[in-house]
C-alpha cells in the first residue's frame, strides 16, 4: 500500500486557479486529481456545470481557441493526440495541457 505503487485520488488547486484566472467560473468549477507514481507531470480532472447545454466539441473548440489566441496562450497548451502519455509532457513550459484525445 505504498504511494510509489498506487494511484491516489486527491484534491487539486487547479480549479481554484482557473476560477482566479476566469472569475466568471467562481463557484461553478470543481476539480480532483489522481496522484500516480511518475517522476514528473500530474493530471487534473475538471468538472464543469455550465448554464446551458453544451457539447464536448464546443468545450474543446473553446479551450483550443483559448490556447491559441487568449492572454493565457502561453500557459495553456492543447493536444489531440489519442496516444499521448504523461512522459510526452515532461519539459513543457505550459502550466496546463488540455488533452482532447483523452
pLDDT of 64-86, one tens digit each?
Answer: 999 999 998 999 999 999 888 88
58-62, 68-72, 75-79, 98-102: lowest mean pLDDT where?
A: 98-102
Q: What is the mean pLDDT of the chain?
A: 84
The structure's pTM equals 0.66
Above 70 in pLDDT, residue 3?
no
Amino acid 64: pLDDT:
95
Question: Hey, where are the domains in the chain?
Answer: 1-49, 53-102
Amino acid 66: pLDDT:
93
**35 by DSSP, 3-state: which?**
strand
Query: Helices marked H in 1-102 — which ranges?
Result: 14-21, 56-69
User: Which run of H or E residues covers position 66?
Assistant: helix 56-69
Of 43, 48, 38, 39, nearest to 9 (Cα)? Answer: 43
Amino acid 67: pLDDT:
95
User: Which run of H or E residues covers position 60?
Assistant: helix 56-69
Average pLDDT for 56-63: 93
Above 70 in pLDDT, residue 6?
yes
Amino acid 2: pLDDT:
66
Amino acid at each position: 500500500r505504498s504511494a510509489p505503487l498506487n494511484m491516489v485520488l486527491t484534491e487539486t488547486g487547479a480549479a481554484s486557479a482557473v476560477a482566479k484566472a476566469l472569475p466568471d467560473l467562481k463557484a461553478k468549477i470543481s476539480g480532483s486529481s489522481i496522484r500516480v507514481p511518475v517522476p514528473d507531470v500530474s493530471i487534473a480532472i475538471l468538472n464543469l456545470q455550465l448554464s446551458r447545454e453544451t457539447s464536448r466539441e464546443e468545450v474543446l473548440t473553446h479551450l483550443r481557441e483559448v490556447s491559441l489566441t487568449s492572454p493565457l496562450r502561453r500557459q495553456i497548451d492543447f493536444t489531440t493526440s489519442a496516444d499521448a502519455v504523461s512522459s510526452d509532457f515532461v519539459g513543457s513550459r505550459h502550466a496546463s495541457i488540455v488533452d482532447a484525445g483523452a
